[in-house]
Each structure stands twice: as structure tokens, then as C-alpha cells.
Amino acid sequence: MLRPIMWNKLRQIWKTGDLRNNILFVIAMLVVFRVAAHVPVPGVKPEALRDFFNSNQILGLLNAFSGGSWDSFSVVAMGVGPYITASIIFQLLAMIIPRLEEMQKEAGGQERINHYTRLATAPLAMLQAYGMLSILRQSNQGFITDMTLLQAFIIIMTMTAGTIFLMWIGELISERKIGNGISILIFANIVARLPTTVQQAALTFESSQIINLAAFILIGVATIAGVVFITEGQRNVPVVYAKRMRGGKLFGGVETHLPLRVNMAGVIPIIFAISIILFPPMIAQFFVQGKTAWVAAFAQKVVMFFQDKLIYGILYFVLVFIFTYFYTAVVFHPDRVAENLQKQGGFIPGIRPGHPTAEYISRTLNRIIPAGAFFLSTIAVLPLVVQQITGTQALAVGGTSLLIVVSVVIEIVNQINSQMTMREYEAL
């Protein structure tokens, strides 16, 4: 029953010319991205580097979300991390600086903030490239051959250009309205890493690990079910549009609803949390072998602090919870929704238009967001709990990766369905 429906939907998408072209364009961009991910930076020994990343938990997690680009030190090894960091910075500044908050409300204001974010991405990318290059050189494990200052500058600029290139590709994908371009690039990274992960698991599998494998499968199924449940869950607020006379015709009088999703932030809180939680240990690794004794000791303590599974899990849980609230406040504004309803002649039964409507929407949202934030945070750290029980390192990365993959797939499917629905209305 499901198979004919799926094939009919795919056939319908393929027959829709512009939608088909958008999907093919996104696929082509992902192919270009993965080709670039296999172009290594000169002067690096990939074999030794791969073993180093596999032996380090923090760097291993970073490598997993880059699709294996770090252990080969490719030109796009940093991925879209610097761009995500710049986005977080400006979204935080918009909540602190009144001028930026007002700019978001102005026509074209968000475009200006996006422009500032792009400008800030370049120096952040150079800083991260320099930091990672310094970490690898200070490790004294022979990853990087002796290089001159000019060669180091070329590597840093090359990797910065790779990040800018991915940022451009991400924005091109977003313009096609098939999904968020940055999230799709991270999705492609994780999926590209999947065959290698499965191969490594198959080579190291033993009959005594059957319980661990069963736990991994159960966690995967629970994660998928939980993400789908929370992502699709919503509270429908009833809305009635008043009747109006326009040109001798009666309009309005329609009863509909305002959908308030349990998780409006989607996969962004997970991406934000990972970006923040990886930043301190990465900076600390840069100073671990510093010449000043107290600086090196402090950096080592920071690294050990974040490698503690309990501390890592608590921080991860709290950051996902906070960022779910934070990003919902960024993307959804009850006062603007109330204003638009009032302009269109809509109102919530029993609630006065304007400010009372905004307060009612805010109260309703504050009742459903904690459930979504708690559930999302729990799913995020659940693999870490199972990892402590089973001792399987792959579960920590696999659960978070699965969370992002499922969320991005749901987002892509919803956007494609919305475009198909819009075209059906246009045809009518």
C-alpha cells in the first residue's frame, strides 16, 4: 500500500519541472561538495592524521560531522562550522543590541544581518584553520611536514576559501526551498561517513557484542520515532476571520487554526550545541603544549573536563534545551503574528486582538516548548547513556548523527510537500 503511494508521489515530483530541477540542482551541489571533500591540502600525511582523529574523542566527533574531511585535511575540512558560529554570534547580539533587533524588523534588515554574518565568517574560518594547524604541528606526531610561513599562510587561506565556498553552496541550496542549505550540507557529511562507520563496525564485530548491537538498533529506532513524534507534533490554536464586504462580495467568516509546533527550531539546537561544546576543547588543545607552565596545565584541565562523559552529557543536554528556547524566540515572534492576524481580520475566539492575542500565543508557546526541548535534549544524550552501559564508542556519535539526519529528512519532505500543495492550489 505504501509503495504505490510513494512511487506516485515520486512520479508527481518528477513531472513538476521546476521542482525536479531544484532537486537535481541540490544533488549536483552535494556532489560538488563531496568531490571537494576529497581534495587534500598539500603537506599533510593523511594516514597518521586519521589514526590521531580516531584516538581523540573531541576531534573524532568533529571529524564525524565533517564527513571525514578532517582526517584527510581536505580543502573543505572546516565545513560550515565558522558560518554557524558567526550566525550564533549575531543572533545573540540581536537580542542584546537594540539596533540589531530593530534591524531584524525592518524591510531588508535580515538580509543586512546575513551580510554581516558572511563577513564575520572569513576571520572566524582563518582563526579556526590556524588553530587546527597549530594543534597538529604541536602534537609532534608527524602529521605535517616542516613548512615555511608562506606555506602555512597558503594552507590557512585555502581552508578559509573552502569554508566560504561551502557557505555559498549552502545559500544556493536554501534558495531552492528544498531545505536549509547548511543543515543539508551537515546531513551530507554524516551520510557520507556512514559506509566507513558500518565497515569499521563489521570488521571489529564479535559475537560477544550482540547485546551492544541490539542496544544500538533499539536506540536508533527510539531516536527516529522520537524525532518524528516531536517534529510533527503541534498545538492548533483556533482562529476565526471576520466577514468583510469587498466590491459587493462577502469575504471571510472562515474558521481555521494557527499551528504552534512543539519543536519550531528543528535541528538547529543540536547543531548550535555541538558547535559550542566543541569550541572550548579545540581552543584548549592549541595551548596544551604551550611554553608557559600554568597555561599548558589549565589547557590540559579544560580538555580533560570536556572529555569527562558525565560533564559532556550534562552540558550537551543543557545546551540543547537552552538553544531550543533561544532559536524559537529568534524565528517566531508572537507580537508579529498577532499584528498580522489583526490586519487580516482574524482573531482567536475569546481573546481580544492585538497585545492580548500576543500574550495568549506566548503563554501557549511557553507551555509546549519545554516538552519539546526536554524530549529533544533527552534523545540527544540517550546514546551517551547507552554508551556508558555498553562501552561502545560509536553510539555517542551515531545517536547525534541520527538525530540530525532524521530531522533534516523530515524538513526536506515537508518543504517538498508544501511546494506540491502550493502548485495544486495554483492549478485550481
The predicted model gives 211-227 an average pLDDT of 73
Residue 32's Cβ-side half-sphere holds a number of Cα atoms within 13 Å equal to: 14
Least confidently predicted of 219-233, 337-351, 377-391: 377-391
User: How far does Cα 30 stand from its chain's mean position?
Assistant: 16
Confidence (pLDDT) at 70: 63
Grid cell, residue 86, equals: 558567526
Region of 354 on the Ramachandran plot (φ > 0 left; ψ -120 to 50 alpha; else beta): left
Q: Given a cut of 60, is residue 250 above it in pLDDT? A: no
Confidence (pLDDT) at 168: 92
The predicted model gives 270-292 an average pLDDT of 75
Domains of the chain, CATH where assigned: 1-194 (1.10.3370.10), 205-428 (1.10.3370.10)
Between 110 and 53, residue with greater pLDDT? 110
**pTM exceeds 0.95 for this model:** no
Q: Give, rounded to a whole angstrom, the gap between the first and last alpha carbons of the chain.
A: 28
pLDDT classification of 169: cutoffs 50, 70, 90:
very high
Phi, psi at 182, each rounded to 5°:
-65, -45
Least confidently predicted of 86-90, 158-162, 288-292: 288-292
Q: Given a cut of 70, is residue 224 above it in pLDDT? A: yes
Confidence (pLDDT) at 370: 87
The predicted model gives 263-277 an average pLDDT of 77
Element (H, E) at 234: strand 234-241
The answer to whether the beta carbons of residues 410 and 228 sit under 8 Å apart is yes
Q: How many CB atoms lie within 10 A of CB 292?
A: 10
Q: How many CB atoms lie within 10 A of CB 132?
A: 22
Per-residue pLDDT of 67-80, as tens digits, reads 455 666 778 888 88
Q: Which residues of 203-224 are buried (b: 16+ CB within 10 A; e: fewer)?
A: eeeeeebeebeebbeebbebbb
The answer to whether the beta carbons of residues 256 and 241 sit under 8 Å apart is yes
The answer to whether the beta carbons of residues 129 and 39 sit under 8 Å apart is no
Confidence (pLDDT) at 62: 60
The predicted model gives 256-264 an average pLDDT of 82
Confidence (pLDDT) at 165: 92
The predicted model gives 28-57 an average pLDDT of 74
Averaged confidence pLDDT in the chain: 76
The answer to whether the beta carbons of residues 232 and 410 sit under 8 Å apart is yes
Site of grid cell 475566539: 349
- Range ranked top by mean pLDDT from 9-18, 87-96, 208-217, 313-322: 313-322
The answer to whether the beta carbons of residues 371 and 378 sit under 8 Å apart is no
The predicted model gives 350-378 an average pLDDT of 85
Site of grid cell 554508551: 387
Phi, psi at 261, each rounded to 5°:
-75, 145
The bridge status of strand 244-246 relative to strand 249-251 is antiparallel
The answer to whether the beta carbons of residues 369 and 324 sit under 8 Å apart is yes
Confidence (pLDDT) at 382: 74
Between 124 and 38, residue with greater pLDDT? 124
Nearest to 420 by CA among 38, 1, 14, 120: 14
